[in-house]
Amino acid sequence: MNNDMSFLHLIMNAGPVVQGVMAILVIASIMSWALILGKSLQLRRARRDAEDFEEDFWGSSDISGTYAQLTQRRGTLSGLERIFEAGFSEFGRLRRKTVNDEIIMDGSGRAMRIALAREADVVEQHLPFLATVGSISPYIGLFGTVWGIMNSFTALGNVQQATLAMVAPGIAEALIATAIGLFAAIPAVVFYNRFATEVDRLLNRYENFAEEFSTVLQRQAIKRPRTEQDAA
């Protein structure tokens, strides 16, 4: 009897169902780590872009100039830039059509909320996959373990004298499925919680900017009726 208990040997000699479970978990783990790396870079870039834009925006007194610069690269806007562009664009469009402050502010606010919702979809993308991997991987691994142990004990019914050496390899290879399941689940859960917190903070930052920018636009809207009345 071959008593090789190495990790690779146990995997290669596992039953087809257990091997299938292991393959699913390994693929899920690889996809999770690829997503973790990509999402880390995405959120880091989003935070940096938000910081840079807020620094430039609040440090400048020329809102129209900031808007003009952004329109030159409209296809590459993201985060606060897109929220600002959507709100100020709608503000300018409505301001040319009406002097009703309520209509102007309602329209620009709605445009920013739509842009914010789209940005939320972007930063939250693929997070449910991490949650799914983190929640079901241990159960998938447990299924492989139960199946492998069941087959090991079933095989004992065909021998007259059972020994630990006969059942140990089957149990060991079955337990590897649980280990791989935990290996896939633990990083997914940890990084899902981390990313969920970072996304909440980032979206709160976007919402706060939208509210502050609405105040700036409201002051801008008040100026037009007075100017037109003075001109009349």
**pLDDT tens across 142-190, in order?**
988 888 888 777 766 666 665 656 666 677 777 888 899 999 999 999 9
pLDDT at 230: 40
List the structure tokens of 172.
Answer: 């060991």
Nearest partner of 205 among 40, 38, 39, 54, judged by Cα: 54
What is the share, in percent, of the chain residues with pLDDT greater than 70? 84
Lowest-pLDDT range, 10-24, 83-97, 134-148, 206-220?
Answer: 10-24
pTM over 0.85: no
Q: Which residue stretches of the chain are H helix?
A: 7-12, 16-58, 63-71, 80-95, 101-124, 127-156, 164-231
On average, the pLDDT of the chain sits at 84
d(CA 150, CA 165) in angstroms, rounded, equals 16
Other CB atoms within a 10 A radius of the CB of residue 92 amount to 15
* Confidence bin at 207 (pLDDT 50/70/90): very high
Neighbouring residues of 68: CB distance < 8 A, sequence distance ≥ 6: none
Q: Which of 152, 154, 177 is nearest to 165 (CA)?
A: 152
Contact 150, 105 (CB under 8 A): no
Give the residue-averaged pLDDT of 75-84: 86
